[in-house]
Structure 1
Amino acid sequence: MKIYTKTGDDGNTGLQGDFRIAKSHPRILAYGTVDEANATIGVVLSNTLDDDVRVVLNTIQNELFLLGSDLSNQNLNDLKNRISLDMVEKLEKIIDKFELELPPITNFILPGGNVAAAQIHQVRTIVRRAETLVVQLSDKDEINSNCIKYLNRLSDLMFVMGRLINKRNGIEDIIWKP
């Protein structure tokens, strides 16, 4: 099978259920940004990481693929929601576990530190943009509302994970100084 189909040469793309929409449609922008976050996590995974962080990131990559699938399904009569509240709650438990290793936040923290932590902060910003685009999509089309909750929690996890990676590498939080 060839990777190119030429069916998108007119500026449209296919969705689940044989729907075709413009590549500039909010649905495409939303799940394209989810894909961007996923690809950037792939960059993070090219670093040396602790096993627990690596396992979490691998799981998230798979879950982001499911989230993109939820967003690409426009046939509401056939909506197979894959992102669940249970998945959101699992992210919360990971956040709680990682935060046990971190000092409380008393200041705004700037992104940075080592390369992996800086890249995780980049993922966080991409996830925030994806969340915004998914919210915009939800204003126009019905979607699995758990996608918004998942992305909101995921950006929180990326913030905590950036701090955790730095701490484990002996790098203190970079404090914002106005």
Structure 2
Amino acid sequence: MAIYTKGGDKGKTSLFDGLRVEKDSIRVETYGTFDELNANISLADKFCKSEKNKKILQTVEYRMFYLQGEIATKDTEKFLKQSQFITDDDTRSLEKIIDDYTQALPPIHSFILPGSSTAGAQLHVCRTICRRAERSFVKLSKSIEFRPELERYVNRLSDFLYIMARSEDYEDLIDDVTEKVIKVYSKIEDGRKDE
């Protein structure tokens, strides 16, 4: 079975509820940017050193499908009847992670470079894509009313990605310091054996 339908050959695409719209519409731009974000979150989770962070990001990846699906539907009620959707529990989950990680990480008092580790750098890429998606979402919200639960979730995502980036950078730093300490200790032990 072919993956192409030819339905979009004239510059239109179908929304979740079957409505045909122009491919360059702000709605398509918005859910398309969140799709780009989700692909980048998937890449980030492959770079993560922390298994806990990988699992957290994978959970968010699934939530992104619900987010995109709702944005890609004109008839919100139809979507809510046929799919899982973002709730305030999802937002509270992000907030708990943000709060817990902020508490656990060393405080910072200035701007930081976007990532000292591969995972951290990729998560900062995610954060910037998320900001772009959020700008499109806000623009779209001027003509289309979305559920407040969806708006709150979108508003927390970039803060979540920022703290995840900091967490991965810290994990990388701890691993680096640990490796250096082990090397120094090994040299000391080797020196003792030679005595």
For the pair 1:150 / 2:153, whether they are aligned, the reply is yes
- C-alpha displacement of 1:79: 4.6
Letter aligned with residue 13 of structure 2? T
| 1:126-151 C-alpha deviation (Å, 9 max, x unpaired) | 11111111111110112233223212
Report sequence identity in percent: 39
Structure 1 Cα separation of the partners of residues 52 and 148 of structure 2: 28
The match for 1:176 is none
Structure 2 gap ranges (5+): 175-195
Map 1:58-77 → 2, pairs under 5 A: 58-77=58-77
Q: Which residue of 2 aligns with 1:94?
A: 97
Tell me the distance in 2 between the aligned counterparts of 1:34 and 1:145: 18
Equivalent residue, structure 2, for 1:175: none
Q: Work out the number of aligned pairs and report it.
A: 171
Residue 76 of structure 1: how far off its partner (Å):
4.1
Instruction: From the two aligned structures, give the one with the greater helix fraction.
Output: 2
Q: Structure 1 stretches of 5 or more lacking a match?
A: 172-178
1:16 and 2:19 matched:
no
Task: Tell me whether 1:82 sits opposite 2:94 in the alignment.
Answer: no
Query: 3-state SS of the aligned residue for 2:2?
Result: coil
2:133 matched to 1:130?
A: yes
Compute the RMSD of aligned alpha carbons.
1.5
TM-score by length of 1: 0.90
Does the alignment pair 1:34 with 2:37? Answer: no
Larger gyration radius, structure 1 or structure 2: 2
